[in-house]
């Protein structure tokens, strides 16, 4: 799971990760879930949203949040639209 740190005053002068670095971390985290549960994030998301998945672990909610963030970042920073999916 990705946790975005809130900088303290002592950290405010340190370089913050770029959006691309955050995106890379999200992709890594998504791959972890895909390997763990044996399906792609898109397959998982479609099944989760349609209610086709049986009651699952709490990981499913984290995975859903990560996938939503991934899709939004694709749209915002890279111009990919996922609206048709």
5 falls within a domain:
no
| Domain assignment present for 7 | no
pLDDT of residue 43: 96
Domain membership flag for residue 85? no
Place of tokens 């972890």: 32
Contact between 50 and 44 under an 8 Å Cβ cutoff? The reply is no
Is 12 inside any structural domain? no
Tens of pLDDT along 32-85?
Answer: 999 999 999 999 999 999 999 887 788 899 999 999 999 999 888 777 665 544
Task: Tell me the C-alpha distance between 14 and 32, whole Å.
Answer: 28
- pTM of the predicted protein model: 0.71
In the chain, how many domains are there?
A: 1
Count the alpha carbons within 13 Å of 25 in the hemisphere toward its beta carbon.
10
Expressed as residue numbers, the domain containing 66 is 17-78
Q: Is residue 84 part of a domain?
A: no
pLDDT (0 to 100) of residue 3: 61
Task: Quote the CA–CA distance of 13 and 24 in Å, as a whole number.
Answer: 23
């Amino acid at each position: 799971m990705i946790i975005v740190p809130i900088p303290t005053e002592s950290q405010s002068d340190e370089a913050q990760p770029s959006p691309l670095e955050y995106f890379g971390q999200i992709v890594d985290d998504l791959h972890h879930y895909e390997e763990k549960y044996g399906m792609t994030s898109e397959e998982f998301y479609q099944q989760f949203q349609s209610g086709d998945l049986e009651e699952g672990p709490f990981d499913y909610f984290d995975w859903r949040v990560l996938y939503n963030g991934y899709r939004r970042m694709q749209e915002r920073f890279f111009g990919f639209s996922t609206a048709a999916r």
